[in-house]
């Protein structure tokens, strides 16, 4: 397939699109982590599904406390890993089901040769069938009030495997845009303590990426904005990545279409008043990413998922290229690294997490 335009990438964040590299990195240095992420929006934008498999849960305060030196310098990681599965289903911007389930290290397995991962009794694997290829995903996580959630999804790739793996460099975050556009169908079943079942069907357009970081992010990232939306003729992916060590800011808009990734250097403009989440993270309501004859506008964002160190939003997006303009709903994300480096916040959250091993609703 055609590859992306070969513009120079930031040394801190390196993107590519490779099915062959959607495998686990294997035994890494303590403190390294990676995750496989899937999201999908229904055709009318009213339903959202979010799924993440993490071999080491970056946002876990337990993980971050494990990486803190007794002298207060951050981080000096030990060998403890915190694998986790996160699942969320939203309807009209409101969470219907949400779970973050951490597990013991022994409950994690993944392949270094094929796209496959199992954490607890949840798993994903890449399959090829007569009508195409993609991911079969099974989710089994606990919910509050003694309920259990079981879900199965088929993530059939439309645009995938578009750009070879970039050369390895130290202290780099590798962002594998494995399948930027997929046809998604699935079924969610919730079972209460009495055995009664509530079922939901889902159909929409999905996205899948895989992140691997070779050095823990709080020392590396000032902040990271990124997001994507599916339009009739392209999937648009944007990011602004600010690197502490190199004092470099990288802003790009990627348009995925016709079996290739077109890369545009862009300006990143925050507009209007900032909002604040219940955890105190400030975020802009409006963004404009523009340059080289293209413009992506991100407007009217509402919070889907937030912690003290991470934010995910449902946004209205519009893409303009030349004289054509399209509108859609999309997902925006924001990672400010500062909270992950705050020792007091992490100690408070460790205590809160240990009172209940799972975050569910």
Q: Is the pLDDT of residue 71 over 80?
A: no
Sorting pLDDT into bands at 50, 70 and 90, what band is 351?
A: very low
Structure tokens at 153: 């999804």
Closest CA to 93 of 134, 139, 51, 41: 41
- 178 in any annotated domain: yes
Say if residue 77 is exposed, middle or buried (CB neighbours under 10 Å; 0-12, 13-18, 19+).
buried
Residue 5, domain member (yes or no): no
Position 239 scores a pLDDT of 95
163 touches 5 (CB < 8 A): no
pLDDT at res. 359: 52
337 domain residue, yes or no: yes
The pLDDT tens digits for 108-153 are: 999 999 999 999 999 999 999 898 999 999 999 999 999 999 999 9
Rounded average pLDDT over 257-277: 91
Asked if 270 contacts 32 with a C-beta cutoff of 8 angstroms, the reply is no
CATH of residue 41's domain is 2.40.370.10
Q: Which domain holds residue 31?
A: 13-360
Question: Do the domain assignments include residue 313?
Answer: yes
* Overall domain count for the chain: 1
- Domain for residue 318, yes or no? yes
Q: Is residue 3 part of a domain?
A: no
- To the nearest 10°, report the CA torsion of 55, 244, 335, 210: -40
Q: Do the beta carbons of residue 232 and residue 326 sit within 8 Å? A: yes
Q: Would you state the pLDDT for residue 214?
A: 62
- How confident is the model over 185-218, as pLDDT tens digits? 999 999 999 999 999 999 999 999 999 876 555 5
In a domain, 4, yes or no: no
In a domain, 8, yes or no: no
- Specify the pLDDT at position 1: 37
Per-residue pLDDT, 28: 64
């Amino acid at each position: 397939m055609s590859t992306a335009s070969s513009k120079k990438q930031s040394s801190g964040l390196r993107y590519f699109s490779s099915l062959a590299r959607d495998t686990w990195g294997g035994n890494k240095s303590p403190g390294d982590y990676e995750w496989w992420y899937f999201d999908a929006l229904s055709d009318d934008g009213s339903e959202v599904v979010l799924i993440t498999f993490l071999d080491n849960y970056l946002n876990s305060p337990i993980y971050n406390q494990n990486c803190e030196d007794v002298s207060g310098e951050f981080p000096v990681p030990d060998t403890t890993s915190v694998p986790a599965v996160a699942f969320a289903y939203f309807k009209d911007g409101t969470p219907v089901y949400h779970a973050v389930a951490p597990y013991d290290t022994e409950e994690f397995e993944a392949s270094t040769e094929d796209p496959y991962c199992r954490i607890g009794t949840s798993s994903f694997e890449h399959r090829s069938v007569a009508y195409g290829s993609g991911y079969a995903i099974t989710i089994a996580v606990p919910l509050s009030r003694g309920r259990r959630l079981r879900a199965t999804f088929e993530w059939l790739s439309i645009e995938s495997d578009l750009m070879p793996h970039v050369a390895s460099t130290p202290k780099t975050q590798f962002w594998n845009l494995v399948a930027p556009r997929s046809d998604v169908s699935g079924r969610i079943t919730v079972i209460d303590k009495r055995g009664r079942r509530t079922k939901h069907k889902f159909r929409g357009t999905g996205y899948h990426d895989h992140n691997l970081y070779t050095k823990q992010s709080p020392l590396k990232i000032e902040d990271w904005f990124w997001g994507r939306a599916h339009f009739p003729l392209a999937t648009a992916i944007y990011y602004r990545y600010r690197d502490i060590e190199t004092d470099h800011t990288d802003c790009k808009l990627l348009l995925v279409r016709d079996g290739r990734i077109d890369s545009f250097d862009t300006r990143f403009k925050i507009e209007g008043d900032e909002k604040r989440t219940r955890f105190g993270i400030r975020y802009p309501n409006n963004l404009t990413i523009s340059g080289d004859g293209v413009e992506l506008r991100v407007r009217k964002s509402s919070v889907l998922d937030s912690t003290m160190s991470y934010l995910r939003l449902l946004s209205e997006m519009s893409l303009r290229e030349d004289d054509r303009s399209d509108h859609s709903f999309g997902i925006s994300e924001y990672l400010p690294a500062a909270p992950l480096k705050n020792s007091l916040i992490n100690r408070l959250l460790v205590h809160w997490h240990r009172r209940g091993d799972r975050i569910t609703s």
